[in-house]
Chain A
Amino acid sequence: MAATQVRGQRIPRLDAPAKVTGRAKYTYDVDQTSDPRLKGMLYGAILRSRLPRARIRRIDTSKAEKMPGVRAVMSLVGEGAEVQYAGEALAAVAAETWEQAKDALSAIEVEYEPLPFEVDTDRAYEKGLRSSPRVERRGRGEDGFDEADVVVEATYRTPVQIHTPLETHGSVVVWTGPSQVVVYDSTQVLFSVRDSLARELNLPPENVQVICEYMGGGFGSKLWMQHYTPIAARLSRKAGAPVKLMLSREEDFLATGNNPDAVQTIRIGAKKDGTFVAFSRRSYGTGGVGGGADLPAPVYRFPHLYLEHVDVTTNAGPAAPLRAPKWPQAAFGVDSAIDELAAKLGMDPVELRIKNDPSEIRRKEWQIGAERIGWKEKWRPWGSHKGVLRRGLGCGASAWGGGGGPGSVAEVEIFRDGSVVVRLGTQDIGTGTKTVVGIAAADGLGLTPEFLRSDQFRVYIGDTRLGRSGGSGGSTTAASVYPAVYDAADKALARLKEFVAKKLGVPADRLVSQGGRIFDKQNPTKGLTWGEATRLLPTEAISQRGEWRPGMTGSGVAGCQFAEVEVDTETGIVRVVKVVAVHDCGAVINRLTAESQVIGGVTQGISFALLEGRLMDWQTGLMINADLENYKLAGAFEVPEIDVVLLDMPERGVIGLGEPPIIPTAAAIANAVANALGVRVRELPITPDKVLKALGKVPS
């Protein structure tokens, strides 16, 4: 990388002005004023099963077809089909107004034959609606416990979560020719949507263009093409008009993915001095009608390990990865159990962790975090806090991959008037990718942050007509796109340098581009400004493509968090006072947005710890909190001071950061609550009723 860099500075995101003015057109927003091809756009809507399991005896769309404004109606299931969860798609309509589309849904007749169902994880487990156990063993497995002096065992529970991106799922489709289709999709994976839809519609992928310049959050639930995209495409073809099909909030809750729950019985065995010897976990959870409720192994050093997992099938929508999928649940279990062990051993929980942590980086981070939260001064053993309002401290660990790889083709164009255009078919899901792309190009070209934010610098992403790039999942985007863009910029600069070299009479390899000037490194006063240099171009522009280069990225991050809470022992209300989040991501590309990622992860972690959870009524099989009033998310009053410590380790290269900050928060909060109370709530969310039960103030 170049010597002086934009990388590592605080760069406000390039698309922020568009977002704060309402100019940004999300999938939900596009219409004929943003794309004239959408003139005459219809509104699509989907009718969904209201029973958790049923056979569809009859579905009659004839009345809906005659409704005012209705232009297309489709049954999505045949008669006799079996639906497996409330929320499964049955039929779809397109109408001239949104209101007419909703009317048309209620005119579709469906005759259901109800079938037995189960939506409760424990009841389904008891009934045997479960997979055979999957087992993983290391060392001597459970036999290893015979080496332990001390053993703790407990069961921890976490609920099903819903991703709830603010922009619901949906697509807008317009056929621009008999076999040409343009799709706006709120997605984390432009090219995979393109390829999947092409397959579904039997078109060559080049005939499908997918656009997502702005996207209102996904958190893993928009990582593949979902059912509504081909439905919108078919409605559009049938109606002969563009169709916007955005799901309602309720549909988003029921049918676009969820994060499985977990019931984990954990045992930890240790020596008297605190050295861990064995870990075992028996777990089950439900990914609804899909699987995928398994959990990762702990990050701590355990010579003997036994993991056994069972997936439970319930009549609920299929699971989808949610930011650091499976890790926050696992961390809640493991780090809670470690604190229980620390209490039994009479050890300081931070010391116990450092002793058993194989990661050198995280061992350092434990110390930084402890210092920032004031652990030495404030921490007191469990049970020593008295009074109505009790404060406590806790901590938890995270770990993630975050590496990148080949597959991105970036383009950098330098114009004679000095302007620069960067193009890459990646997507910005709120993580700041567009700005990362810009920084990579600015660094490759030796330009300044001011130039990067000026009108002369333009970044285009979010369109499959641009160079191919991968999906935004697994925190791999930064480490995948940065090297490709840097490579393209570097090559474009090399071409520009040829003209400068000729002009200055200096060999090109002696030229350096830095701070908006290209100059002779042996005689820095001899040089040209960026504008003077680009005016030498013999054509309107030069353009270069770049691909991922090895050597610029790494993988494997650590991280830990500390929480201070205050619990009201009369009301059971937990208030998070402060969270210290210590994370690393190799080379920090944009300190401002990287910190925001951490803040966002912590805030979602607070939601998970204290508020969130899908509630299913086992008698009706319906979700009873499928709305933003009753599905609780952290709001302005729940968010404490968040102290972000981001280690910059340029020598490790670029590594992703999106996911790890959500991992340890709930564990740290649960441990802080247990520390404050002297008794532990082993089930998330830690709501006031559970706190009062744990205190014995209300019957359990």
Chain B
Amino acid sequence: MGKGRKVSGGVTRRSFLKVAGSGAALTEVLTGCRPSAEVAVAEEQPQVATKVSVTLRVNGKSHRLQLEPRVTLLNALRHHLHLTGAKPVCDRGECGACTVLMDGKPIYSCMLLAVDADGHEITTVEGLAQDGRLHPLQAAFVEKDALQCGFCTPGFIMAALGLLRENKNPTLEQVRAALSGNICRCGVYTRIFEAVLEAAKKMQGRA
């Protein structure tokens, strides 16, 4: 999926094709540069989207949902399952804050439609702690202070978990590479690297 820019207020990339088809949204975009009077015409009323049935398997539990096909996995988790650990930050695959695991691999949940997650095993940050005990990666984030505001944290933890599942003993450079799709504006990357390396050590010791 391309990184389509938002072309006008209220038109997201997911509705763009449909809306652009009517011509109005494009008019609006183009007229933004034209020095003459213009009218941004309203859309034809969008069709009431029919809902489809989706079964999401999240943190080991199955949930049957009726969703519009355009609902992203991120919004399905947050709005429909009330799992708000994965964060909406850019909503277009640029920041990693919405990272979850799908079949063990980190993905941006804002870039996947919920219907396409049907039948896959999703793990969110809420699924890591067992019986109130933090996962070693979570514990390392706490002890190393690998967070400030914490809004990016679930995404970093899930991306790091994806790495540690593939590579139990990563180098610093491999950690950097695995986390290069995540943004932390508070700027605690160096702490995060420490936490991930520490957790890798702990997890190996345990295994």
Contact, CB under 8 Å: B95 / A628: yes
Contact, CB under 8 Å: A628 / B89: yes
The number of chain A residues touching the other chain, given as a range, is 35 or more
In the complex, whether B83 has a CB less than 8 A from a CB of chain A is yes
Contact A63 to B185, CB < 8 A, known contacts A12-B145, A635-B180: no
Contact A114 to B149, CB < 8 A, known contacts A108-B42, A603-B187: no
In the complex, whether B134 has a CB less than 8 A from a CB of chain A is yes
How far does the Cβ of A576 sit from chain B's closest Cβ, in whole Å? 12
The number of chain B residues touching the other chain, given as a range, is 35 or more
Contact, CB under 8 Å: A166 / B185: yes
Interface string of A85-111 (1 = CB under 8 A from B): 000000000000111001111111111
Interface string of B131-167 (1 = CB under 8 A from A): 0001000100111010111111110010000000000
Interface string of A21-33 (1 = CB under 8 A from B): 1111110110111
Please indicate the chain B residues that have their CB under 8 angstroms from the CB of A22 in the complex. Answer: 83-86, 124-126, 154
Contact, CB under 8 Å: A633 / B79: no
In the complex, whether A280 has a CB less than 8 A from a CB of chain B is no
Contact, CB under 8 Å: A628 / B190: no
Identity of the chain A residue whose Cβ is nearest the Cβ of B178 in the assembled complex: A636
Contact, CB under 8 Å: A15 / B82: no
Contact, CB under 8 Å: B134 / A627: no
Contact A165 to B149, CB < 8 A, known contacts A103-B15, A106-B19, A601-B187: yes
In the complex, whether B52 has a CB less than 8 A from a CB of chain A is no
Q: In residues 593-623 of chain A, which contact B (Cβ within 8 Å)?
A: 593, 595-597, 599-604, 607, 619-620, 622
**A627, B134: Cα distance in complex, Å:** 34
Contact A114 to B38, CB < 8 A, known contacts A165-B185, A635-B180: yes
Contact A249 to B91, CB < 8 A, known contacts A51-B32, A111-B39: yes
Please indicate the chain A residues that have their CB under 8 angstroms from the CB of B29 in the complex. Answer: 50
Of A210-218, A343-351, A544-552, the one touching chain B: A210-218
Contact, CB under 8 Å: A214 / B150: yes
Q: Which of A21, A106, A602 contacts B134 (CB 8 A)?
A: A21
**A63, B88: Cα distance in complex, Å:** 29
In the complex, whether A19 has a CB less than 8 A from a CB of chain B is yes
How far does the Cβ of B101 sit from chain A's closest Cβ, in whole Å? 13
Q: Which of A46, A48, A107, A166 contacts B89 (CB 8 A)?
A: A166
Contact, CB under 8 Å: B87 / A16: no
In the complex, whether B68 has a CB less than 8 A from a CB of chain A is yes
In the complex, whether A429 has a CB less than 8 A from a CB of chain B is yes
Q: Which of A26, A68, A603 contacts B151 (CB 8 A)?
A: A26
Q: In residues 24-48 of chain B, which contact A (Cβ within 8 Å)?
A: 25, 28-29, 32-43, 45-46, 48
Please indicate the chain A residues that have their CB under 8 angstroms from the CB of B124 in the complex. Answer: 22
In the complex, whether A406 has a CB less than 8 A from a CB of chain B is no
Contact, CB under 8 Å: B15 / A620: no
How far does the Cβ of B73 sit from chain A's closest Cβ, in whole Å? 14
Please indicate the chain B residues that have their CB under 8 angstroms from the CB of A15 in the complex. Answer: 150
Contact, CB under 8 Å: A166 / B187: no
Q: Which of B19, B87, B94 contacts A629 (CB 8 A)?
A: B94
Contact, CB under 8 Å: B10 / A105: yes
Identity of the chain B residue whose Cβ is nearest the Cβ of A602 in the assembled complex: B187
Among A48, A50, A67, which residue has the most Cβ atoms of chain B within 10 A? A50
Contact A248 to B91, CB < 8 A, known contacts A602-B187, A603-B187: yes
Q: Which of B19, B71, B79, B188 contacts A599 (CB 8 A)?
A: B188
Interface string of A187-220 (1 = CB under 8 A from B): 0000000000000000000000000001111010
In the complex, whether A13 has a CB less than 8 A from a CB of chain B is yes
In the complex, whether A651 has a CB less than 8 A from a CB of chain B is no
Q: In residues 1-45 of chain A, which contact B (Cβ within 8 Å)?
A: 12-13, 15-17, 19-26, 28-29, 31-33, 45
**A366, B154: Cα distance in complex, Å:** 38
How far does the Cβ of B31 sit from chain A's closest Cβ, in whole Å? 8
Please indicate the chain A residues that have their CB under 8 angstroms from the CB of B83 in the complex. Answer: 22
Contact, CB under 8 Å: A599 / B187: yes
Identity of the chain B residue whose Cβ is nearest the Cβ of A251 in the assembled complex: B9
Contact, CB under 8 Å: B32 / A50: yes
In the complex, whether B201 has a CB less than 8 A from a CB of chain A is no
In the complex, whether B97 has a CB less than 8 A from a CB of chain A is yes
Please indicate the chain B residues that have their CB under 8 angstroms from the CB of A168 in the complex. Answer: 89
Among B11, B37, B89, B91, which residue has the most Cβ atoms of chain A within 10 A? B89
**A413, B190: Cα distance in complex, Å:** 38
How far does the Cβ of B49 sit from chain A's closest Cβ, in whole Å? 8
Contact, CB under 8 Å: B185 / A633: yes
Please indicate the chain A residues that have their CB under 8 angstroms from the CB of B41 in the complex. Answer: 109
Interface string of B1-33 (1 = CB under 8 A from A): 001011011111001000100000100110011
How far does the Cβ of B94 sit from chain A's closest Cβ, in whole Å? 4
Identity of the chain A residue whose Cβ is nearest the Cβ of B47 in the assembled complex: A68
Which residues of B come within 8 Å of A, CB atoms?
3, 5-6, 8-12, 15, 19, 25, 28-29, 32-43, 45-46, 48, 68, 70-71, 75, 78-79, 82-92, 94-95, 97, 124-126, 128-129, 134, 138, 141-143, 145, 147-154, 157, 175-177, 179-180, 182-191, 193
7 new A-B pairs (CB below 8 Å) besides A167-B89, A217-B149? A21-B128, A29-B84, A50-B40, A113-B37, A114-B36, A219-B185, A636-B180
13 A-B residue contacts at CB 8 Å? Answer: A12-B143, A17-B138, A51-B32, A109-B39, A109-B40, A167-B151, A592-B145, A599-B187, A599-B190, A603-B184, A628-B92, A629-B94, A641-B190
Closest 8 CB pairs of A and B: A22-B85, A105-B10, A603-B187, A216-B151, A430-B149, A19-B150, A29-B84, A430-B148
